[in-house]
Amino acid sequence: MKILITGNMGYVGPGVVSQLRETYPHAELIGFDIAFFAHCLTNPPFLPERKLDKQIFGDVRYFDPEILNDIDSIVYLAAISNDPMGNKFEEVTMDVNYRSAIRMAKIGKEKGVSSFVFASSCSVYGAAEGSAKVESDTLNPLTAYARSKIAAEEDLLKIADDGFTVTCLRFATACGFSNRLRLDLVLNDFVAGAVSSKRIDILSDGTPWRPLINVLDMARAIDWAVTRDADNGGEFLAVNAGTNSWNYQVKELAEAVAEVVEGCKVTINQDAPPDKRSYKVNFDLFKKLAPNHQPIFDLETSIRSLYENLNTMGFNDPDFRESSFIRLKVLNKLQTESFLDDNLSWKWQNIPTLSEQY
């Protein structure tokens, strides 16, 4: 088996590489990443990419089709991966998260790739009142990031057939420790605030709902999707990936962190305008299709892992939201220091934009 993992040097990638190496010890695992965040390492016993057979540095917007020769499965993690980045780099977000994914899927299919796994998001439900959302419910994207995921899903549906299985995993909000930790995620932010300043300041009124999933459980879901048979969900599948027990209000997450971190104070902005990004999600279909790859981490375990690892790192920065733990800050710094252009390409590459090239 030969598996290509794009975007493997981000927050999710180290866990995915480790999971696939454990499940497929003799597989050829190849990473493909632009390396914006390669230096953002946190507590690794060794470089996570050593579990790969090969690491390729490249941009999914301009990849060489030859890298897809003899590939059996593509795991597409590459993304401009949150709302603040998507809002600032909207066109790049569409290029990376949508157009490049479709081009890679089409070329991969032509070259005999049999499985394409796309990291989608529950954010496609956007503002969603009422009962927990199922896959057939109306989508209501509020951000460029969510729109890019929907666009990719729609075009991947057209490509899937009996020889090319497509799985779009609509992940709940990621959380938990990684060897390339991000703190621009709600639970991770709360734990970092509790560790660094013994306080959690909720900027909203605390009532919005969020489904969460530990980053290592995301890797388990991807493991399942890599070899999913079309008889188990169809040639194309868009499925909510997470667990029903992980639907929480934001204030509940903060309170759970305060129970673990002694002396932590939680404040809520009662005067904040309503946060439109509120939704509960139903994960029954994922449980039915992937019974052996269900999430195994709970909220308390995830909080304690973050807490312990941050302490091990000697983390004590109350201004962490201005640090390299925040992905947008990393991109801004790379641009300020003239390493990246406005299109988020490395300046020495001198590569045309996607629209000019294709």
Distance, in Å, from the CA atom of 191 to the CA atom of 260, rounded to the nearest integer, reads: 9
pTM: 0.95
Query: Which pLDDT value is given to residue 276?
Result: 72
Residue 237 and residue 164: Cα distance in Å, rounded? Answer: 12
Cα 32 from chain centre: 16
Nearest to 160 by CA among 109, 118, 104, 225: 109
Q: Which ranges constitute the DSSP H helices of the chain? A: 13-23, 83-88, 90-94, 100-110, 144-159, 186-197, 215-226, 250-260, 284-289, 299-312, 327-336, 354-357
Contact 127, 142 (CB under 8 A): yes
Token pair recorded at residue 294? 């269900």
What does the buried/exposed string (b/e) look like for 39-50 if buried means 16 or more CB atoms within 10 Å of the residue's CB?
Answer: ebebeeeeebbe
Sign of the dihedral defined by the CA atoms of residues 136, 144, 96, 33, in that order? negative
β-partners of residue 73 are 3, 115
Give Cα separations from 354 to 69, 91, 92 (angstroms).
22, 10, 9
The alpha helices in 74-141, defined as continuous H runs, are 83-88, 90-94, 100-110
How is residue 128 written in tokens? Answer: 């969603």
Tokens representing 255?
A: 């309170």
Placement of tokens 């059996």 in the chain: 72
Half-sphere exposure of 104 (CA within 13 A, CB side): 32
Contact 229, 165 (CB under 8 A): yes
Query: In the structure encoding, which two tokens stand for residue 115, read together?
Result: 């499985």
Question: Along the 358 residues of the chain, how does pLDDT read in single tens digits?
Answer: 999 999 999 999 999 999 999 999 999 999 999 999 999 999 999 999 999 999 999 999 999 999 999 999 999 999 998 888 988 999 999 999 999 999 999 999 999 999 999 999 999 998 777 799 999 999 988 899 999 999 999 999 999 999 999 999 999 999 999 999 999 999 999 999 999 999 999 988 899 999 999 999 999 999 999 999 999 999 999 999 999 999 999 999 999 999 999 999 999 988 877 677 788 999 999 999 999 999 999 999 999 999 999 999 999 999 999 999 999 999 999 999 999 999 999 998 766 555 444 4
Q: Decide: helix, strand or coil at residue 115.
A: strand
